[in-house]
Amino acid sequence: MFKTGYISVVGKPNAGKSTLVNKLVGFKVAITTPKPQTTRFNIKGIITTKTSQMIFTDTPGVHKPKNKLGEYMMKGVENSINSVDVIIYLVDASKPKIDVASENIMKEIVDTKTKVILAINKIDKIEKSKILNIISLYDEYMKSIGGSFAEIVPISIYKEDGLDILISSIEKYLPEGEKIYSDDDITDISEREIIEEIIREKALNNLEEEVPHGIIVEVEKFKKRKNIEEKSVYDIDVNIICEKKTHKAIIIGKDGTMLKKIGTQARKEIENMLDDKVNLKLWVKVRENWQDNDLYLNNLKNKIN
């Protein structure tokens, strides 16, 4: 009996959602940074085995929206948890306190009536004796609001501990069905979108706190050609859109040093992904208040819907 199903990974920012999806899929389908709200739209990672096809959705971290971009991101989380077969609620064992955000997540997933697996991540960072206390804490709260976890699985993504148990637990609750994607598919996002996310990741990791979340990256040109040595080269032109002129100056940096740093880091990773040389050109443009402008957010809305 072959099983196929959708699995949504939800949790607070920095719980490790993107890292988990990347680790399970075995390929970097979602960018990862230490900063909250790194993931902006639902990204699918696909695992196909002899017995099942699991389609994971990495969702934005649950937070209170401050603009239309944030509202669309939270709409994406809502859409995801209401249209899947299994929900993985990922929590950080090193920060186990159930705060308002945690309560809101659990209340949201209880209402779906979907099977929920609690995955307690980063167990390598705490004493083993504390794991049972964390399990009891979350289990008791879930029961107090009329729900229950189908499974509770302590894991360490970093140490790759418990991931095989998590996969087995997920497969248990998937419905019988045929494959939706081919055996070779590992994600549903395009190469252009992956490139945009890689560049945004480098910007997030290198820029000051206030700047990165006010940018959006758009690939304007993506063309493969042969050079004079008859070797393949990709010409990629990219716009980095920011909200303020002061942000543009920070992104470019003195004498262009910051933009060059972002471009160099991104080019290396893109070349590894495409397995060819890349001619990457970055341009910085200002679009004031783009995070509240539907015209600029249409592409993101399409990814959410």
Q: What average pLDDT values come out for the chain (305 residues) when binned by 10 residues?
A: 92 86 82 49 80 85 51 58 88 93 90 93 94 97 97 96 96 95 87 90 82 81 92 96 90 95 97 95 88 63 50
Picking from 62, 75, 57, 77, the residue whose alpha carbon sits closest to that of residue 6 is: 57
Helix, coil or strand: residue 32? coil
* Ranges of each domain in the chain: 3-172, 191-304
Q: What are phi and psi of 233, to 5 degrees?
A: -140, 135
3-state helix, strand, coil in the chain (%, to 5): 40, 25, 35
- At the second CATH level, the architecture of 3-172 is 3-Layer(aba) Sandwich (3.40)
Specify the pTM: 0.77
What pLDDT does residue 111 have?
85
One CATH from 3.40.50.1970, 3.40.50.1370, 3.30.300.20, 3.20.20.80 for 191-304:
3.30.300.20
Greatest alpha-carbon pair distance for the chain in Å reads: 69
pLDDT at position 40, please?
47
Helix (H) or strand (E) holding 163: helix 163-172
Q: What is the pLDDT of residue 304?
A: 47
Nearest to 165 by CA among 154, 173, 174, 175: 154
Q: How far apart are CA 259 and CA 269, in angstroms?
A: 16
Do 75 and 87 touch, CB atoms closer than 8 A? no
The pLDDT of residue 36 is: 46
Q: What is the pLDDT of residue 38?
A: 46
What crossing angle do the helices spanning 68-81 and 294-304 adopt, rounded to 10°?
10
Residue 106: per-residue pLDDT: 93
